[in-house]
């Protein structure tokens, strides 16, 4: 793994915004990523999935459910815990691993703590927090993505079940998940007609669709979910009918902060790799680092990332203090992935051929960072969110 950035480290953001428990968590995660992710993730990229045993191993170490309340069996680390998790997984330079793990523990299963009742939490959470039951979030449809009010997958009540019909797509963990958190329409059009369900693998009427080969995030599994008269027990509905949009938006705010943290981790890794390359690469009687234009590039990118990371930590601390994270999440999601995409492009450029070779850390960061400006709410959708608050 790449070394830390001394300029960003000098800001002492951990000391300012994190508790002693958060800092200890970072140490554990950094060691785990160095020893158990980085050496094996190239093989996971080839298989286009994170092995099931990785989830179980992380569960045994208490690294899943960090943002869940302690009373639900989680770590009680809040939004800042999610930031540390996503940042350290991103720092590995394997964005697919970060996405697969964070979708399981932060972006889907957290709905059990927010909207689930005691019986649902007792039934599902032990397997989720131990990593023995992998989770996925099924929201996007072939004809509906950023505009969630256009979702059309139907859920019709039939006795003690709901019958679900339709197709979900672009689902991270689609082929390895045991539990799918599915948003479906139980009422009329618009946001008030949506409800949230847990659909267990093996439920009659549930099947997989296409599996996607992606430009980036290659170590995460992405596919479809086909629901054809899929009978889901009514006890698997989270919250009341018609509340699904509200629960989904609460989850998206947390997700967007986590994705911004992934971007920061990827950006720091790319900067460290590139700075080391420039210092070592002979050129023109010295090294590439002796060229002022290239040094200034790294300084400028470091300054932008340091500013972005400071805002990220401030927003996460405010969320943990009870502030409404919606606008903060949109600001972070609209800006930090764009900053890191610019950063990754420049790092590839100054690495030359080394930055364009498949499998190099900088090339991988450039691929994996690209989706962070798309998934979880595109930059354009986030800018519109901010504009509504102006």
For residue 255, indicate whether it is catalytic: yes
Which residues on adjacent β-strands are paired with residue 208? 225
Token readout for 261 is 């943290």
Query: Token pair 């090294």 is at which residue?
Result: 287
Catalytic residue among 87, 224, 255, 363: 255
Are 382 and 334 contacting, i.e. CB atoms less than 8 angstroms apart?
A: yes
SS3 for 228? Answer: strand
Phi, psi of 38 (to 5 degrees): -55, -45
| Contact (CB, 8 A) for 174 and 50 | no
Q: Are 261 and 101 within 8 A, CB to CB?
A: no
Strand-pair partners of 107: none
Q: Would you say 268 and 4 are in contact if contact means Cβ atoms under 8 Å apart?
A: yes
Element (H, E) at 233: strand 222-233
Give the Å distances, CA to CA, from 232 to 45, 85, 103, 155, 204: 34, 32, 22, 9, 8
Contact criterion met (CB below 8 Å) for 64 and 100:
no
DSSP string over 139-182: --BTTBSS-GGG---EEEEETTEEEEEEEEEEEETTTT-SEEEE
Query: Token pair for residue 244?
Result: 């699904």
| DSSP character at residue 185 | E
Is residue 66 within 8 A of residue 81, CB to CB? The reply is yes
Query: Among residues 227, 233, 315, 255, which one has the least CA distance to residue 114?
Result: 255
310-322 per-residue burial string, b: 16 or more CB within 10 A, e: under 16: eebbebbbebbee
- The 10 Å Cβ neighbour count of residue 387 is 9
SS (H, E, C) 84-124: HHHHHHHHCCCHHHHHHHHHHHHHHCHHHHHHCCHHHHHHH
Q: Give catalytic residues, as residue numbers.
A: 255
């Amino acid at each position: 793994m790449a070394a830390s950035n001394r300029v960003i480290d000098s800001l002492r953001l951990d000391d300012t915004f994190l508790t002693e428990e958060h800092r200890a968590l970072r140490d554990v995660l950094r060691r785990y990523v160095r020893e158990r992710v980085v050496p094996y993730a190239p093989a996971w990229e080839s298989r286009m999935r994170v092995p099931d045993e990785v989830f179980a191993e992380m569960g045994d170490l208490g690294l899943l459910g960090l943002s869940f309340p302690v009373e639900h069996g989680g770590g009680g680390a809040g939004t800042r815990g999610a930031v540390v998790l996503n940042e350290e997984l991103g720092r590995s330079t394997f964005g697919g691993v970060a996405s697969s793990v964070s979708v399981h523990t932060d972006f889907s299963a957290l709905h059990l703590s927010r909207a689930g009742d005691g019986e649902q939490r007792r039934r599902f959470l032990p397997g989720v927090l131990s990593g023995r039951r992998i989770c996925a979030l099924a929201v996007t449809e072939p004809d509906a993505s950023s505009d969630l009010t256009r979702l059309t997958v139907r859920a019709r009540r039939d006795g003690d079940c709901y019958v679900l019909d339709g197709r979900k797509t672009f689902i991270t963990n689609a082929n390895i998940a045991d539990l799918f958190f599915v948003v479906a329409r139980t009422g009329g059009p618009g946001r008030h007609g949506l409800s949230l369900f847990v659909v267990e693998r093996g439920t009659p009427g549930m099947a997989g669709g296409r599996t996607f080969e992606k430009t980036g995030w290659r170590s995460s599994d992405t596919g479809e979910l086909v629901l054809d008269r899929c009978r889901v027990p009514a006890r698997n509905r989270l919250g009341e009918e018609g509340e699904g949009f509200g629960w989904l938006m609460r989850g998206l705010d947390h997700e967007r902060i986590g994705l911004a943290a992934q971007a920061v981790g990827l950006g720091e890794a790319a900067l460290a790799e590139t700075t080391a390359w420039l210092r070592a690469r002979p050129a023109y009687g010295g090294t590439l680092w002796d060229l002022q234009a290239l040094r200034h590039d790294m300084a400028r990118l470091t300054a932008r990332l340091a500013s972005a990371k400071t805002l990220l930590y401030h927003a996460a601390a405010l969320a943990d203090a009870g502030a409404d994270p919606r606008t903060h999440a949109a600001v972070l999601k609209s800006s930090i992935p764009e900053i890191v995409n610019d950063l990754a492009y420049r790092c590839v450029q100054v690495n030359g051929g080394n930055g364009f070779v498949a499998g190099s850390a900088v090339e991988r960061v450039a691929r994996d960072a690209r989706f962070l400006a798309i998934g979880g709410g595109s930059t354009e959708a986030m800018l519109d969110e901010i504009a509504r608050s102006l």
